């Protein structure tokens, strides 16, 4: 049977692999040898599951959204990752990787962050576990995401502003990789999404797969069957989507819908719709779709949502799109804003702007009354209130 999971060489179809400088080979190889063994061990599982339950607050509810369902004429369940500690799904991954780092004997944690959400999640877990934490962040982002910088500092992390390039995520990533090259022995690099060289995409997908493990159980309780007709999630690098679909990847009864950020429109020059606009290239150590110019220079992406403006996409998702296993929609800024207000007024839930892109796809699809749709609300909208108020509907 065809599988959409990673193969032994770290590829999803033609996407993935590990394209890294020679000096990092040992680090990445050490990680590749350790991750499956650790993640599958009883001792890791026990500690991870306990923290997910008692610290994060899992399982997150699967909520039948009655009024939203009424609007679209089907049964829509929301997977409430917004209710997690720190307000999004990213904490699942951060806990898993820091537990792994500890078992590998690493004492120093580094991370890169764009909007600051992954930085906050990593700093949170490092505070919890008493680990040193250094977060690289483009100087432009440090200025734009002031509150998250203050949160990281309060949590005890050192935030290092990066002044090379455009001073955004891609430059912070380069700096984190440079740090790792200089401290290969004692340092663990926490990547925040299903991106980067193998084994990161597979590891992050496994750590987030708790989302679909819970969906299976919860759907069984609600509906008497453990699979939906549709799974819907937004995609930046792809981790909340990977967690949502993980246990259904090879189940052809389940349709997968991915929402990427259209920005001001796919053809406007201000977009982050990597699946539509990207070409095969190398970013962050993986072969995948990349937004790049004629010369292969990475293009600066744009979205109103800081968590979705990544110029690449996880290799798993590039493959799902290439093989047509997933339907993909580019949801533009205005569509996402309307979707956020709609959910807020129909259900009393203010979603993260990222998650609002997933909600935006509902307007573009047609459902049958008996269809069961599970949509992941990846995070809460508190961090986006200023943007929402600046774009309030008339």
Ligand X SMILES: *Cc1c(COP(=O)(O)O)cnc(C)c1O
Q: In the bound complex, what is the minimum distance in angstroms from residue 117's beta carbon to ligand X?
A: 4
* Residue 234 binds ligand X, judged by CB under 6 A: yes
Sheet holding 108-113, edge to edge: 158-162, 132-138, 108-113, 187-190
* Residue 379 binds ligand X, judged by CB under 6 A: yes
Residue with tokens 């609300």: 377
Question: Binding pattern to ligand X, positions 103-142, x when CB under 6 A?
Answer: --------------x-------------------------
Residue with tokens 């002031």: 146
Q: 144: exposed, middle or buried (C-beta count within 10 Å: 0-12, 13-18, 19+)?
A: middle
Question: Binding pattern to ligand X, positions 43-82, x when CB under 6 A?
Answer: ----------------------------------------
* Residue 312 binds ligand X, judged by CB under 6 A: no
Q: Is the peptide bond before 59 cis (omega within 30 degrees of 0)?
A: yes
Q: Is 193 a catalytic residue?
A: no
Strand 326-332 relative to strand 372-377: parallel, antiparallel, unpaired? unpaired
* Residue 214 binds ligand X, judged by CB under 6 A: no
Q: Is 79 a catalytic residue?
A: no
The stretch among 104-112, 236-244, 277-285, 292-300 that binds ligand X (CB under 6 A) is: 236-244
- Which residues, numbered 349-368, are part of the site for ligand X (CB under 6 A)? 352, 354-355
Task: Give the HSE-up count for residue 292: Cα atoms under 13 Å, Cβ half-sphere.
Answer: 16
Rank residues 193 and 212 by Cβ distance to ligand X and give the closer one: 193
Rank residues 315 and 379 by Cβ distance to ligand X and give the closer one: 379
Q: In the bound complex, what is the minimum distance in angstroms from residue 250's beta carbon to ligand X?
A: 21
Q: Is the peptide bond before 289 cis (omega within 30 degrees of 0)?
A: no
Q: 389: exposed, middle or buried (C-beta count within 10 Å: 0-12, 13-18, 19+)?
A: exposed
Q: In the bound complex, what is the minimum distance in angstroms from residue 201's beta carbon to ligand X?
A: 10
Region for residue 191 given its phi and psi (left: phi exceeds 0; alpha: psi -120 to 50; beta: otherwise): beta
Given 79, 90, 106, 383, the catalytic residue: 90
* Residue 239 binds ligand X, judged by CB under 6 A: yes
The stretch among 50-58, 170-178, 229-237, 292-300 that binds ligand X (CB under 6 A) is: 229-237
Q: In the bound complex, what is the minimum distance in angstroms from residue 366's beta carbon to ligand X?
A: 26
Q: How far is residue 193's CA from residue 235's CA, in Å, rounded to a whole number?
A: 10
Q: In the bound complex, what is the minimum distance in angstroms from residue 229's beta carbon to ligand X?
A: 22
Q: Contact with ligand X (CB under 6 A): which of 238, 263, 278, 312?
A: 238
Q: Is 303 a catalytic residue?
A: no
Rank residues 74 and 125 by Cβ distance to ligand X and give the closer one: 125
Given 170, 287, 378, 383, the catalytic residue: 378
Of 359, 363, 326, nearest to 343 by C-alpha is 359
79-91 residues labelled b (16+ CB within 10 A) or e (exposed): bbbbbbbbbbbbb
Q: In the bound complex, what is the minimum distance in angstroms from residue 87's beta carbon to ligand X?
A: 7
* Residue 236 binds ligand X, judged by CB under 6 A: yes
Strand 158-162 relative to strand 62-64: parallel, antiparallel, unpaired? unpaired
Region for residue 144 given its phi and psi (left: phi exceeds 0; alpha: psi -120 to 50; beta: otherwise): alpha
Interface contacts to ligand X, rule CB under 6 A:
88, 90, 117, 193, 234-241, 307-308, 352, 354-355, 378-379
Which residues are identified as catalytic? 90, 112, 378
């Amino acid at each position: 049977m065809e599988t959409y999971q990673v193969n032994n060489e770290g590829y999803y179809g033609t996407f993935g692999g590990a394209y890294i400088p020679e000096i990092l080979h040992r680090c990445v190889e050490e990680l590749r040898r350790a991750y499956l063994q650790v993640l599958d061990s009883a001792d890791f599982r026990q500690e991870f599951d306990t923290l997910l339950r008692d610290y994060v607050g899992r399982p997150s509810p699967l909520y039948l959204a009655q009024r939203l369902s009424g609007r679209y004429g089907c049964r829509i369940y929301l997977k409430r990752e917004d209710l997690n500690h720190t307000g999004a799904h990213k904490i699942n991954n951060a806990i898993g990787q820091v537990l792994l780092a500890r078992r590998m004997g690493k004492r120093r944690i580094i991370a890169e962050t764009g909007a600051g959400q992954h930085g906050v999640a990593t700093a949170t877990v490092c505070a919890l576990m008493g680990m040193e934490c250094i977060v690289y962040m483009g100087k432009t982002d440090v200025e734009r995401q002031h509150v998250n910088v203050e949160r990281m500092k309060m949590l005890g992390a050192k935030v290092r502003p990066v002044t090379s390039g455009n001073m955004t995520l891609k430059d912070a990533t380069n700096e984190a990789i440079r740090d790792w090259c200089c401290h290969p022995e004692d340092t663990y690099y926490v990547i925040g999404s299903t991106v980067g060289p193998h084994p990161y995409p597979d590891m992050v997908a496994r750590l987030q797969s708790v989302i679909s493990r819970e969906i299976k159980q919860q759907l069984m309780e609600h509906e008497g069957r453990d699979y939906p007709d549709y799974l819907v999630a937004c995609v930046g690098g792809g981790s909340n989507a990977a967690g949502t679909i993980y246990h259904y990847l090879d189940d052809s009864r389940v349709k997968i819908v991915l929402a990427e950020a259209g920005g001001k429109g796919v053809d406007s020059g201000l977009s982050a719709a990597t699946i539509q606009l990207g070409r095969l290239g190398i970013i962050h150590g993986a072969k995948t779709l990349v937004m790049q110019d004629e010369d292969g220079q990475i293009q600066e992406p744009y979205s109103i949502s800081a968590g979705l403006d990544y110029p690449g996409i996880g290799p798993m998702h590039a493959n799902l799109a290439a093989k047509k296993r997933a339907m993909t929609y580019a949801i533009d800024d205005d569509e996402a804003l309307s979707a956020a207000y709609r959910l807020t007024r129909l259900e009393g839930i203010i979603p993260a702007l990222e998650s609002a892109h997933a909600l935006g796809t509902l307007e573009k699809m047609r459902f049958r009354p008996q269809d069961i749709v599970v949509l992941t609300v990846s995070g809460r909208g508190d961090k986006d209130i200023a943007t929402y108020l600046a774009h309030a509907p008339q």
